[in-house]
Chains A and B, each alone.
Chain A
Amino acid sequence: GAVVSQHPSRVICKSGTSVKIECRSLDFQATTMFWYRQFPKQSLMLMATSNEGSKATYEQGVEKDKFLINHASLTLSTLTVTSAHPEDSSFYICSARDLLISGTGHGNTIYFGEGSWLTVV
């Protein structure tokens, strides 16, 4: 399958600072990328949908001024957690939609990155 890479895989930052997480589609172009957050023992929660060249669409309850998303190219989307607080500590996962038609002939497949662990101290 297609490869989606995230960087960094783990990051520790101090309260009040900002941290940026990168998501890259390595072998395909993705006009749409998605950002999720996952707390321990919980399922993935969709935060926002990122479209190349346009503003991201945020899910209800997600602060767009706190979680800045930039999708400047067809292979890169970034999530910046601004003014981080300990409660922002979580597993952040991105995914990207492969535009190529899959073997089923209709659906587009969404591939996920390895995730990034953020710890705010």
Chain B
Amino acid sequence: DAKTTQPTSMDCAEGRAANLPCNHSTISGNEYVYWYRQIHSQGPQYIIHGLKNNETNEMASLIITEDRKSSTLILPHATLRDTAVYYCIVRVRSGGSNYKLTFGKGTLLTVNP
């Protein structure tokens, strides 16, 4: 019940922008889209999240389509250290004011020199 679909893997050249797509066609109006990444043998690292507007921070940009059924994470200048599994997650309400993050399989991004 991850509610998201991502490509299994992607490659990107070092220094170029990495655009990681995510489909979440069943997203509800008040559900946020979160992006995390996991470098091998480490805990997931928070990247960015958004509801309906595009968001940008020091790590990445998040572009959410107007119908909110898909989004794209953009790493503007990928480096070798950005090689990781990237997870697109729809935050699901788990009861009351509680939320939980359910991980899918993510996209393995490999940045090549």
Contacts and interface: CB of A to CB of B under 8 A. Distances in A.
Interface of A: 1, 4, 6, 32, 34, 36, 43-46, 49, 51, 57, 91, 93, 95, 97, 102-104, 106-115, 117
A91 B41 contact: yes
B49 A32 contact: no
Given A34-B100, A46-B101, A95-B101, A115 B42 contact: yes
24 contacts: A6-B43, A34-B101, A43-B87, A43-B105, A45-B103, A46-B100, A46-B103, A49-B98, A57-B94, A57-B95, A95-B44, A104-B49, A104-B50, A104-B51, A104-B55, A106-B51, A107-B91, A108-B99, A110-B34, A110-B101, A111-B46, A112-B46, A114-B42, A117-B41
A103 B32 CA distance: 14
A107 B49 contact: yes
Contact of A109 (B41, B46, B100): B46
Contacts of A51: 98
A115 B41 contact: yes
Given A57-B94, A115-B41, 14 more contacts: A6-B43, A49-B94, A91-B41, A95-B44, A103-B57, A104-B49, A106-B51, A110-B34, A111-B46, A112-B36, A112-B43, A112-B44, A112-B45, A113-B43
B21 interface: no
Interface of B: 32, 34, 36, 38, 41-46, 49-51, 55, 57, 87, 91, 94-95, 98-106
A1 B103 contact: no
A91 B42 CA distance: 9
A43 B105 CA distance: 5
B94 A1 contact: no
A107 B106 CA distance: 22
Nearest to B96: A51
